[in-house]
Chains A and B, each alone.
Chain A
């Protein structure tokens, strides 16, 4: 296994930029003290601390290129959530958060392996980091991306995904000449040709769906790396 760096202790992140692209998304860019360089696909843990020392922490995939001076995350606001609504409604430039990262050595793109990524909704975030890295280093032919969401509005980084050449599969609205539909097998087959590995990130139901269509496209289960989130049905 190639060596992948892992942040071993808590550090401080200062919010340098914050954007709310929709009422369900918040993009935060941190300046991280004592930063350990990340690999595309890794994540950071954000920890909030209340006056009575109660803490809440959540993991968020990194969206930024390793070369970016700031670390970027894109958080989807969950109804009845504790951390994501705080980040969307209260966090501001200049705030300091406890951060830990980068974490994870499995869901990391090995850039010499031609790969296909399938993300559902905010599951595209780790692939944005991979795309930015691939474009900067000129190896983008090795990374193909499929991004699925109900609507354009629900897909973070939709403009950037399109300019990269990702296949954007919307299930509830037509998109250019593509009729609203789940990702269908022929779309995957074309992009999976020559891929030696697949990365899938999204909700539990989405991951199981993506796994089946990857299998139909000839990618075997042991070559599929998964990151899934959310409650099971």
Chain B
């Protein structure tokens, strides 16, 4: 397809190589996109359940999670709605730490992450193991805001951000891929921003 008449685009600087195709730098703002109303979560009763094909199904309370070794992510995040945000700082715990207890079975190939709202998303386990994903509750040193998934969400920063389930409450290991909420509603099953896997039918 040809050039759009009269369109030159925003002035582009050196930051370009950090922008996946079709993304723009949102700067200091952090847009919000959700499909349902933000729930209020009571951390005194909240639990994170890890189940499905694991040796040791586990339920973590908020206090138990906070007692684990902390892990942080410092880097960029990318949303399918075309914004990218550079140099974010999230604090929480690596999913690897939780899986040392739960121990996924050899036949597990995928996970489904579920929010208290019923929102779900699917991920291959290779995209969440070995330092690739976190359960986080801090952003820039402050408690994560409710509209961004606070008090606690998943973080999978190398994929489009709909994979980083807000208000997470369960992770289930499966021996097959099972499309989640947006994946059933037209979005890609994996969502790699560098491959521009936005919608069903993308490579």
Least CB distance, B35 to chain A, in whole angstroms? 6
Assembled-state Cα–Cα distance A222/B117 (Å) = 7
Assembled-state Cα–Cα distance A200/B22 (Å) = 28
Q: Is A127 an interface residue (CB 8 A)?
A: no
Residues of B within 8 A of A (CB): 1-10, 12, 21-22, 24, 26, 29-39, 81-82, 117-118, 145, 147-148, 181-182, 184-186, 199-201
- Given contacts A8-B199, A86-B6, A97-B4, whether A104 and B185 have CB atoms under 8 Å apart is yes
- Given contacts A51-B8, A82-B9, A104-B186, whether A228 and B33 have CB atoms under 8 Å apart is yes
Residue numbers in A under 8 Å from B6 (CB-CB):
86, 90-91
Q: Is A56 an interface residue (CB 8 A)?
A: yes
Query: For chains A and B in complex, what number of residue pairs have CB atoms within 8 angstroms?
Result: 116
Residue numbers in B under 8 Å from A54 (CB-CB):
9, 12
A221 touches B31 (CB 8 A): no
Assembled-state Cα–Cα distance A9/B24 (Å) = 21
Assembled-state Cα–Cα distance A47/B9 (Å) = 11
Task: Give the residue of B24, B35, B182 whose beta carbon is less than 8 angstroms from that of A226.
Answer: B35
**Main DSSP-derived SS at the B contact region:** loop
A230 touches B4 (CB 8 A): no
Q: Chain A interface: which size bin?
A: 35 or more
**Main DSSP-derived SS at the A contact region:** mixed
- Given contacts A57-B22, A95-B5, A232-B145, whether A204 and B186 have CB atoms under 8 Å apart is no
Give me 29 A-to-B residue pairs in the complex whose CB atoms sit less than 8 angstroms apart, sorted by A's number. Answer: A9-B201, A49-B2, A49-B4, A49-B7, A50-B9, A54-B12, A55-B9, A56-B10, A56-B24, A90-B6, A91-B6, A98-B1, A103-B199, A104-B185, A104-B186, A105-B184, A105-B186, A208-B147, A211-B37, A221-B117, A228-B33, A229-B31, A230-B32, A231-B26, A231-B32, A232-B30, A232-B32, A232-B145, A232-B147
